[in-house]
Amino acid sequence: MSKAKTVFSNAVDSVNTGLMEVVATSRASKIAKAMVLMLAFAFIAPMQVQAAEFIGEAIDILGIVIIAIGGGLGIWGVVNLLEGYGNDNPGAKSQGIKQLMAGLGLILLGILAIPQLATLLPVG
């Protein structure tokens, strides 16, 4: 028999032995697994309600934060826009209008899109 066949045969034998050890579980271990599974479900069920409430509050806070960032960016854009008009600087005007539009976009995102995340949660 060649060396490769011997190595392959030994590998197959060790895998089969390992599978037999996994399959041969005692009745006590099956009962222990069932008890652990029941305890896990007993603790997970109340946690799902708490998680849904937490995620709902997090969505509200996320919306407020995004609106605040959008408002700050919009104000910064207005300042840059006014500065560009005051100094007749087309670069500052361009940057100001971009910041203003980005700020308004973030405000709209916070008002319209972020609250829609709550609809993704299952109602239990």
Q: For the packed helices 90-108 and 27-86, what is the interaxial angle rounded to 10 degrees? A: 140
Q: Are 107 and 67 in contact (CB under 8 A)?
A: yes
- Predicted model pTM: 0.58
Instruction: List the pLDDT tens digit at each of the 124 positions of the chain.
Output: 566 556 556 555 655 555 455 555 567 777 878 788 777 777 776 666 677 778 888 889 999 999 999 999 999 999 999 989 888 888 889 999 999 999 999 999 999 999 888 888 765 5
Tokens standing for residue 30: 């099956």
Residue extents of the structural domains in the chain: 3-120
